[in-house]
Structure 1
Amino acid sequence: MFKDNPLLQQLKQQIKDSLPTAEGYVKSTERGFGFLQCDGNKSYFIAPAQMKRVMHGDRVSGIIREGDDGKQSFEPETLIEAGIDEFIGQVQFSRDGRPSVIADHPMINFPINARVNKGVIENLGKNDWVVAHMLRHPLTDRGFFCEIKQFIAKADDQFSRWKATTARHHLAWDAPSDLEQYELLEEGLQRIDLSDREFFTIDSESTLDMDDAISIESSANGWNVWIAIADPSAYIDTNNELESVAKQRGFSLYLPAHTVPMLPRQLADELCSLLPEQKRPVICCRLSIDPQGKLLDSTRFFAAWIESKHRLNYNDVSDYLENSSAATWQPSTEALVMQLNELQAMTNARTEWRSENSIIFVDRPDYRFSINPDGTVADIHCEPRRIANRMVEETMIVANIAASSLLREHFGFGVFNTHSGFDATKIGLVEEMVQQAGIDMNAEQLLSFDGFCRLRRMLDQEQLTYLDLRLRKFYSYSEFSATAQPHFGLGEQCYGTWTSPIRKYGDMLNHRLLKAVILDKEAENPLTEELATHLGECRRLHKFAERNMADYLYAEYYRDHLSTIETQHAQVFDVSRGGIRVRIQETGAVAFIPGTKIHAIKDQLNCDADTGRVLIQGECKYQLGDDITIKVTEVKSNGTNLIADIVS
């Protein structure tokens, strides 16, 4: 009799209106309850019954209730912004055959009722991968409900996870379709025939799209180096349909066991690839390096034909030059022996020059997954950066520097990579950290190009790992720019790339500008602000896809080997309120060590994210850069996180 009593309803509404309110983002937990995270680090408990009305990531508002025990809890009332809109997931079916989708998200583990869009023609089965779109939310309608709008892969497809990863980031899974035939464009270029010069390529054994070849000789003034770069723009004009495809993709995507090329495979892996004993059109530069490693002002760019004489790989060349006991390969000609020795000497000189005048990269290993035919991980290989890798890297860097300088001086525009060093809005914190470390540099110096480079050299040379890792959080992001601006991270006043036109659309644009220089023609700036933003977003999505795929494979590998992998070495690279994150040196995987596994007494432990240190009873126990021994003990069932214990 009281259910529809208007006076009772009015009284309830008045009580509700008198309660405090809050707004924030929903954070789910594995145990069914959650929290409302408000601005200013304030949070409120959300009971399991209330969590059924919201989803992780939702921005909501609602009321705060206080229980008899004095503890506060949050009840959601209004949806401000949904946590997910379009999402990737796997299909499930109820007993009566109605479909639902479980989102591929570590904090969303319940099925969302679904309908299938008429455009999906595949016969969906259990655990098939799909793209779904949210239609209803409990705070606005009758429960969660979504529409399956796109099929991705069957559950038993060995590459289903790869396909889901590319779909999540709106990236292509297949190579572009080849044209029926390819013809060289009439560009008016007079290509110099260098078929007799002994060029060679150095790549990974599995590389198909070989886009750079090198030839080198010593001179009285140091070295003369020829760098020949594959020329896909010789087949693709600006009105070609492949131009639009390359522009949209931006880059080739490199996932473990699967490459998604920017260009069609026939073009990327055959017609343009600098295969041995095959005549290929290239853009070539001839540059001179003095004995101290400095680039001289005699660089020349020209179009050419070359015929690579040797296809080499990093491991064989490194084993040979490092006199490794594992060496089984020997150069086939005396001329190649001489060239490899000269290239090594040039690389050493160039590295020394850059270490004093620019910035060099700290050699970090690469990690390679071996994938079984069924898509599982057979092994993870740690591959150190060796001399052959550095030889190619240094040669391409100096070629890019030479091309960037030419475009800046000739046109005043091009496709340049820029990096402005530290985030100017946080320079006060950077200044404080640097001075606390005993380095006498002020904010103005730290924001300057010369000051940033000087600090970077100091961090590397004096191995100030702790300070280095703290400062990395304050770096700005690299960007594409039509005008030449400094690249602080490389220590170069001007830097753009042209040495990977098969793999990077921006490099193909720079090729066309270099051709205009060679022909002494005018050119228009190809990099609009819109295109620069697009290429930056493509690069960001590629990095996310590569990282997501690696995280999944790491989780699969450790899940299968928890009982057999003993202790491993790791370095602390992040400290948060809840614990520390480490990178495992043997595999490259990231693991999390919760505070409860660092010290049992919570009140005595302080994981200080601001200083990057872990304090126990006020004393520093661990800090950024520390090398520790760990053992992975758990792979989280709702995600790809590895949980580890500290062994020593």
Structure 2
Amino acid sequence: MAKGKVPTRDELLAFIKESATPVGKREIARAFGLKGDQRIELKELLRNLRDSGDIAADRAKTFKDPKTLTDITVLEIVRVDDDGHLLAVPRRHDEEKEGPPPRIEINPQAQSSGGRGSGPAPAVGDRVLASLKRRGKNTYEARIIRTLGSAPRRVLGLYEEPSGRDGMGIVTPTDRKLKASYDIRPADKNGAEPGDIVWVEPSGGALARRARVSERVGAMSDPRTVSLISIAANDIPVEFPAAALEEAERAKAAPLGQRLDLRDTPLVTIDGEDARDFDDAVFAEPDPDHPGGWRLLVAIADVAWYVRPDKPLDRAAYRRGTSVYFPDRVVPMLPEALSNHWCSLVPHEDRPVLAAEMWIDAEGHLKRHRFHRAMIRSAARLTYTRVQRAQDGMPDAEIAPLMGKVIRPLYGAYKVLLAAREKRGALDLDLPERQVTLGDDGRIAEIGVRERLDSHKLIEEFMVLANVAAAQALEQRHTPCLYRIHDNPDAAKIEGLREFLGTLGVGLPAGPRIRPGDLNRVLHQVADKPVARLVNETMLRSQSQAVYSPDNLGHFGLALARYAHFTSPIRRFPDLIVHRALIAAYGLGEGGLPEADKGRFAEFGEHLSMCERRAVAAERGAMDRYVAAFMAAHVGATFPGRVTSVTRFGLFAALDASGADGLIPIRSLGQEFFRHDEGRQMLIGERTGETFGLGDRLRLKLVEADIATGGLLFEIVDVIERVERHAPPRGSRHDRRTPRRPVAQRGGPKDKRSRRRR
């Protein structure tokens, strides 16, 4: 390197990324021999690299490759290699987005002080806090500081009895992160039959792959077992404690008391055809004092009346955090005595609610609001399809009398709210939702796309407005609020999105900060092009994850300064906390937020965000396995599909008709060596120049459908259509690329498209 000269952007980036340890500004200046004003130039250059996401900075003001692991991190021991070395991966490593994990080798003899000492040896499945020392590119040695969780006392897997093993069984984990299978002696199979999903208890430490069957979950041939795998694997609580059930059974009708009497107001519920509980009702009418304005009512079941703080029912619901939905069942947050009865706004029966009364002007701005504890009597239980047909001029006998006073005013208010949404620039991703239909035998009979109607959007806009009003109300009354926050996208992800869009000839404004409206302009630009779905999915992956927090960061996706979840306390505990806070803030009687809970909102946010992630993982895992079961009958058949993700170890693709997605391993692409062009999201053959990239349409052959893990494997039969790409934008991180051999792996994770909950 040239001494006494300020490095170029590429020289500085290479120096930081090649350093075995994070380096500070002083070390960089010394290495390049910089003095005086040159240090000011260096500071500016470092700031630009950090803002673009090319480097990461820590509290010690040192810089490193953002993909480099921190010195102290949480690891999960996943397997033993052929030489007997324990290998680990970062606890939160996303293989699809970040590529193959680094090689982290644990030497049980090299433990930091305060570690295990003479305790049991570390084993596959252990979670450990470890210090890392970089040994080479993407290679580390780990020193265990302490164990955070023991090796799995139980592992969920598929039991089989391969021929030629003298009755010895084998259990293959349903979790693809656990690479090792377990041997089961005949004496330890505990009645398990081939094809059963079982819990096993590993024995003998890391090197021994023996286990005993402790519990049989169900036969893999039974479609009901599919959901049970996800429930068990994600530790979803299923059984309510007896005390919680007794408390729910003792519930009775709430008295009118001081509640606002809204029983003569024709509020209606609008839900899906298969909904079993109805926790929100809506009403709208023109505001006579403000031409073009509207008065809206959103009435939500008063769960706080029945679920009191620190009672058995409250503790059980908090542990669950949310209801979990599977194709064949629901694991509810509350017992059915409440969720399907007293907290369900069934038509023509008195039900207690917490009601948001809101006024909007002709521009859709929320002008004022009030919250009431009220009593309603729902005028009708309507469905999205019926309401939309009525608005389109085909009302049925029940809806026809409601058209003038209920349906048309609802759509009138919705039109104003929709215009306001479009004006403020809320992110408008178009991502079709997969819908499965089960047959009488419990198996998938059909996979399609859920129809998106204006009636769906109507209810969504009413709920968004009520959620905003709840957050505003708590702020105005200086009461703690559990916000639903969606932070701005990470600068590095936005830069990656910008470079990818550039390869499609689509521009995105420069800079690390971006607005939802900027993204919407891109979506509108590609709306009628073949790459539209590709751009929508890639943009979704660039977004931050929405979480619960007492610290308000706003909601990027909705383009809102403040937002809370208020509208579904039957199935989300955060909404119940917001209800309790509103009851306390407005002095609305019993069941409000206890004083002791006001200091626990950070704890609430962390726990309930975890519960939501757990539920999403369980729902996605069950859906993957249902789809794999559906596709198993079609192994060997060919289907048109589209590449949805490109990695160093292969391609992920989704089939056009069903949306079923799986891996195309790089080993199946032939003898050619392919390099991964991250900037253009492509695999490029070094010899032939053949390319496979994001959005390419392919004809695919299904070669494997693993029901236990939910994994699908494809092979490419033919290329139907390739997406036209340009070179990466000049000066981008991927303007110059070095060919490298990809890591060929057997199998790999499926594409986990993250549909973030609002």
Task: Tell me if both proteins adopt one fold, taking TM over 0.5 as the criterion.
Answer: yes
Q: Which consecutive residues of structure 2, in runs of 5 or more, have no partner in the other structure?
A: 1-74, 91-99, 105-121, 129-142, 721-758
**Which residue matches 2:727?**
none
Amino acid at match of 1:423: D
Amino acid at match of 2:270: I
**Which residue matches 1:532?**
605
**Which residue matches 1:359?**
426
Q: Is the 8 A contact 2:549 2:606 kept in 1?
A: no
- Residue 233 of structure 2 is aligned with which of 168, 171, 180? 168
Q: Is the 8 A contact 1:574 1:580 kept in 2?
A: yes
| 2:355 matches 1:284 | yes
Q: Which consecutive residues of structure 1, in runs of 5 or more, have no partner in the other structure?
A: 1-22, 45-53, 61-77
- The separation in 2 between residues aligned to 1:339 and 1:613, in whole angstroms, is 53
- Residue 611 of structure 1 is aligned with which of 676, 680, 693? 680
Q: 1:492-526: per-residue Cα shift (whole Å, max 9, x none)?
A: 11111110000001101111111123327895426
Q: Is the 8 A contact 2:78 2:89 kept in 1?
A: no
**Secondary structure of the equivalent of 2:459?**
helix
**Which residue matches 2:183?**
112
**Secondary structure of the equivalent of 2:366?**
coil
CA-based RMSD: 4.2
**Structure 1 residue 308 displacement after superposition:** 0.8
Q: Is the 8 A contact 1:358 1:492 kept in 2?
A: no
Cα 1:347–1:622 change in 2 (3 A) is: farther
Which region of structure 1 is more displaced relative to structure 2, 486-495 or 107-116? 107-116
**Which residue matches 1:423?**
490
Q: Is the 8 A contact 1:25 1:59 kept in 2?
A: yes
Q: Is the 8 A contact 2:171 2:184 kept in 1?
A: yes
Cα 1:632–1:338 change in 2 (3 A) is: farther
**Structure 1 residue 132 displacement after superposition:** 2.6
Q: Is the 8 A contact 1:415 1:482 kept in 2?
A: yes
Q: Map 1:297-308 to 2 at 5 A.
A: 297-308=367-378
Q: Is the 8 A contact 1:567 1:647 kept in 2?
A: no
Q: Is the 8 A contact 1:218 1:224 kept in 2?
A: yes
**Structure 1 residue 384 displacement after superposition:** 2.1
Q: Map 1:83-232 to 2 at 5 A.
A: 86-91=154-159, 101-106=171-176, 108=179, 110-113=181-184, 125-137=193-205, 139=207, 143-153=208-218, 158-174=223-239, 178-179=245-246, 180-183=249-252, 190-219=258-287, 220-232=291-303
- The separation in 2 between residues aligned to 1:149 and 1:493, in whole angstroms, is 51
**Structure 1 residue 43 displacement after superposition:** 7.4
- Residue 579 of structure 2 is aligned with which of 511, 514, 519? 511
Q: Map 1:26-65 to 2 at 5 A.
A: none
- Residue 557 of structure 1 is aligned with which of 615, 630, 633? 630
Amino acid at match of 2:285: E
- The separation in 1 between residues aligned to 2:401 and 2:292, in whole angstroms, is 23
- The separation in 1 between residues aligned to 2:627 and 2:443, in whole angstroms, is 10
- The separation in 2 between residues aligned to 1:365 and 1:340, in whole angstroms, is 26
**Secondary structure of the equivalent of 2:373?**
strand
- The separation in 2 between residues aligned to 1:26 and 1:193, in whole angstroms, is 59
Q: Is the 8 A contact 1:92 1:111 kept in 2?
A: no
- The separation in 1 between residues aligned to 2:407 and 2:356, in whole angstroms, is 19
Q: 1:575-606: per-residue Cα shift (whole Å, max 9, x none)?
A: 11233223334323213334466x65614x44
**Which residue matches 2:508?**
439
Q: 1:547-579: per-residue Cα shift (whole Å, max 9, x none)?
A: 11111111111111346x7644x4432111233
Amino acid at match of 2:662: A
Q: Is the 8 A contact 2:501 2:507 kept in 1?
A: yes
Q: Is the 8 A contact 2:434 2:659 kept in 1?
A: yes
**Which residue matches 2:461?**
394
Cα 1:566–1:236 change in 2 (3 A) is: same
Cα 1:127–1:562 change in 2 (3 A) is: closer
**Structure 1 residue 338 displacement after superposition:** 4.8
**Secondary structure of the equivalent of 2:515?**
helix
TM-score (norm 2): 0.67
Q: Map 1:491-510 to 2 at 5 A.
A: 491-510=559-578
Q: Is the 8 A contact 1:201 1:310 kept in 2?
A: yes
Cα 1:318–1:619 change in 2 (3 A) is: farther
**Which residue matches 1:546?**
619
**Which residue matches 1:317?**
387
Cα 1:240–1:42 change in 2 (3 A) is: closer
Q: Is the 8 A contact 2:651 2:664 kept in 1?
A: yes
- Residue 336 of structure 1 is aligned with which of 403, 407, 411? 403
Q: Is the 8 A contact 1:158 1:373 kept in 2?
A: no
Which region of structure 1 is more displaced relative to structure 2, 434-443 or 537-546? 434-443
Q: Is the 8 A contact 1:212 1:500 kept in 2?
A: yes
- The separation in 1 between residues aligned to 2:269 and 2:339, in whole angstroms, is 15
Task: Figure out how many residues of one structure are paired with residues of the other and give that number.
Answer: 578
**Secondary structure of the equivalent of 2:446?**
strand
**Secondary structure of the equivalent of 2:579?**
helix
| 2:474 matches 1:407 | yes
**Structure 1 residue 312 displacement after superposition:** 1.1
Cα 1:299–1:88 change in 2 (3 A) is: same
Percent identity at matched positions? 24
**Structure 1 residue 154 displacement after superposition:** 5.7
- The separation in 2 between residues aligned to 1:37 and 1:304, in whole angstroms, is 55
Q: Is the 8 A contact 2:270 2:381 kept in 1?
A: yes
- The separation in 1 between residues aligned to 2:698 and 2:501, in whole angstroms, is 29
Q: Is the 8 A contact 2:271 2:384 kept in 1?
A: yes
**Secondary structure of the equivalent of 1:635?**
strand
- The separation in 1 between residues aligned to 2:392 and 2:655, in whole angstroms, is 27
Amino acid at match of 2:418: T
- The separation in 2 between residues aligned to 1:550 and 1:230, in whole angstroms, is 29
- The separation in 2 between residues aligned to 1:345 and 1:544, in whole angstroms, is 38
Amino acid at match of 1:169: N
- The separation in 2 between residues aligned to 1:473 and 1:284, in whole angstroms, is 36
| 2:664 matches 1:593 | yes
- The separation in 1 between residues aligned to 2:152 and 2:221, in whole angstroms, is 27
Q: 1:396-453: per-residue Cα shift (whole Å, max 9, x none)?
A: 111111111111221252111112222357676567668885434223xx1xxxx333
Cα 1:172–1:115 change in 2 (3 A) is: farther
Amino acid at match of 1:164: I
- The separation in 1 between residues aligned to 2:152 and 2:535, in whole angstroms, is 37
**Structure 1 residue 370 displacement after superposition:** 2.3
Amino acid at match of 2:312: E
